[in-house]
Amino acid sequence: MSTYIDSRDPSKHDAYDDCPPLVARYLKDSEVIRGRSPRTVNGYYIDLRTFFRFLKQSRGLVPADAEPDSIILTDIGLDLIRSVTATDILEFLYYATRQRGNAPATRARKLSSIKGFYKYLCTKLKLIEANPADDVDSPALKKALPKYLTLSEGLELLSQVNTDFYERDYCILTLFLNCGMRLSELVNIDVTDLREDDTIRIVGKGNKERLVYLNDACVSSVSSLLAARAKLQNVEPTEKALFVSKKTGRRLSARRVQQIVESCLKSAGLSGRGYSPHKLRHTAATMMYQEGGVDMLALREILGHAHVSTTEIYTHLGTQKLKEAAQASPFSSVKAQPPTRRRPQDSDPAQHSGHLPAGLSETQPEQTEETDGTTHPP
């Protein structure tokens, strides 16, 4: 099974030797030629491996009760790959829903991996005439507003850092909340990425580089971290990582950073609310847009988005802005004023003139009209 060799260095993984040869070629081409990140390519690998295991089982090529990990895929050739239909893909998505409990977003990602692979065979290698996944629609995704900390919660989080490596952990939170970087981006920061003009070099998705400007809070926290890092006896001179373990002196893993954030959230009384390092990224983007007035194009550059449409999810209106919008309505100050109910004789002209309507006497009851045009006694 292909997996990352070292969680601290996700750019290294085993060869895709357990894949169908054409799948392995696609994965290598995606990373080397198309420049996809190793993490993204590994996602393709997992999705395609799951799909072809399902295909062999559904076609009766392996026992129905075979364990997925025991299904060999290296014997899958072009004939089986070419025989895949849209129905097969739909059955796989149904299996992913019913048997694996995959959410719509996960199923959409699996479908995207399959589409990408067959597009490669169709347009790049020209081994098949049509992409069977083109006729399969992506699962509908629920559009939810990003979850983020309020300004007061963010300040409380920064004030309650109580760990055994304060300078490092405070710096982690500060960069997340001020720069909105991804977890993988923060973990891979090297000391040499820091520049004298108060910028930092970030390597984002697809190995795309960008420069992020550090504000005063970030510069101060980074300076404190560098001073504390220099005092660690177990950090080798060749270690480039900015964020290192106090015990081993080596680069922190992504999981360790998650644990640090979870610990700080707990200290601030914010645990159990679904907050995570990525929610701190949401928080940075939301605060820059709502409180700092940063425009969408600038926010896109800061966050490292390839498309501005991705940035739009961070530009949601906060509750305060919704409240202000509601108060801005010209009808917001209008209060209910129930009309004074008057007696019928007060508005009857005949009463004021001293005469009854023609055909009525003082003892004859008046008739009421119904909506069908007929009259009935009251």
Task: Tell me the per-residue pLDDT of 140-192, one tens digit each, with 9 for 90 and over.
Answer: 877 777 788 989 999 999 999 999 999 999 999 999 998 889 899 999 999 99
Same-domain pairing of 298 and 159: yes
Is residue 376 helix, strand or coil? strand
Domain stop point among 319, 343, 358: 319
Q: In the structure, what pLDDT confidence band is assigned to residue 39 with cuts at 50, 70 and 90?
A: confident
Question: 256: domain CATH number?
Answer: 1.10.443.10
**From 56, 107, 281, 300, active-site residue:** 281
Q: Is residue 178 part of a domain?
A: yes
Same-domain pairing of 78 and 180: no
Q: Could you give phi then psi for residue 236, rounded to 5 degrees?
A: -70, 150
Instruction: Tell me which residue of 258, 261, 283 sits closest to 161, measured CA to CA.
Output: 261
> Cα dihedral sign for 284, 287, 288, 289?
positive
Distance CA 255, CA 246 (A): 15
Residues in the chain: 378
Do the Cβ atoms of 235 and 229 come closer than 8 Å? yes
Same-domain pairing of 76 and 192: no
Q: Is residue 143 part of a domain?
A: no
**From 119, 201, 278, 316, active-site residue:** 278
The residue type found at 105 is A
Q: Is residue 337 part of a domain?
A: no
Same-domain pairing of 156 and 127: no
Domain stop point among 106, 135, 164: 135
What does pTM read for this prediction?
Answer: 0.67
**From 28, 205, 210, 240, active-site residue:** 205
Same-domain pairing of 68 and 110: yes
Q: How far apart are the first and last CA of the chain?
A: 87
**From 53, 182, 251, 300, active-site residue:** 182
289 carries an active-site annotation: no
The pLDDT of residue 367: 45
205 carries an active-site annotation: yes
Same-domain pairing of 83 and 225: no
278 carries an active-site annotation: yes
Instruction: Tell me which residue of 219, 184, 226 sits closest to 202, measured CA to CA.
Output: 184
> Cα dihedral sign for 297, 303, 305, 310?
negative
Q: Is residue 87 part of a domain?
A: yes
Percent of the residues in the chain that have a pLDDT greater than 90, as a whole number:
55
Distance CA 315, CA 297 (A): 11
| C-beta pairs of 223-227 under 8 Å, 24+ apart in sequence | 224/167, 224/170, 224/171, 225/167, 225/168, 225/170, 225/171, 226/191, 227/167
Instruction: Looking at 304-355, list the stretches that DSSP marks H as alpha helix, in order from N- to C-terminal side.
Output: 308-311, 319-327, 344-347, 349-353
Q: In the structure, what pLDDT confidence band is assigned to residue 4 with cuts at 50, 70 and 90?
A: very low
pLDDT tens track for 69-119: 899 999 999 999 999 999 999 999 999 999 999 999 999 999 999 999 999
Q: Per the structure, how many domains does the chain have?
A: 2
DSSP class of residue 198 equals S
Contacts for 224 with CB less than 8 Å, ≥ 6 apart: 167, 170, 171
Q: Is residue 341 part of a domain?
A: no
Q: Could you give phi then psi for residue 160, rounded to 5 degrees?
A: -115, 30
Q: Is residue 365 part of a domain?
A: no
Q: Is residue 373 part of a domain?
A: no
DSSP class of residue 314 equals G
Same-domain pairing of 125 and 216: no
Quick one: angle between helices 254-267 and 277-290, nearest 10? 70
Domain stop point among 268, 288, 319: 319
Distance CA 166, CA 60 (A): 57
305 carries an active-site annotation: yes
Same-domain pairing of 166 and 296: yes
DSSP class of residue 132 equals G
Given a cut of 70, whether residue 323 has pLDDT beyond it is no
Where in the chain does DSSP place strands (E)? 199-203, 209-213, 368-369, 375-376
pLDDT tens track for 116-142: 999 999 999 999 999 999 999 988 877
Residue range of the domain that includes 270: 151-319
Question: 105: domain CATH number?
Answer: 1.10.150.130
Arithmetic mean of pLDDT, 329-346:
68
**From 16, 170, 289, 314, active-site residue:** 314
Q: Is residue 116 part of a domain?
A: yes
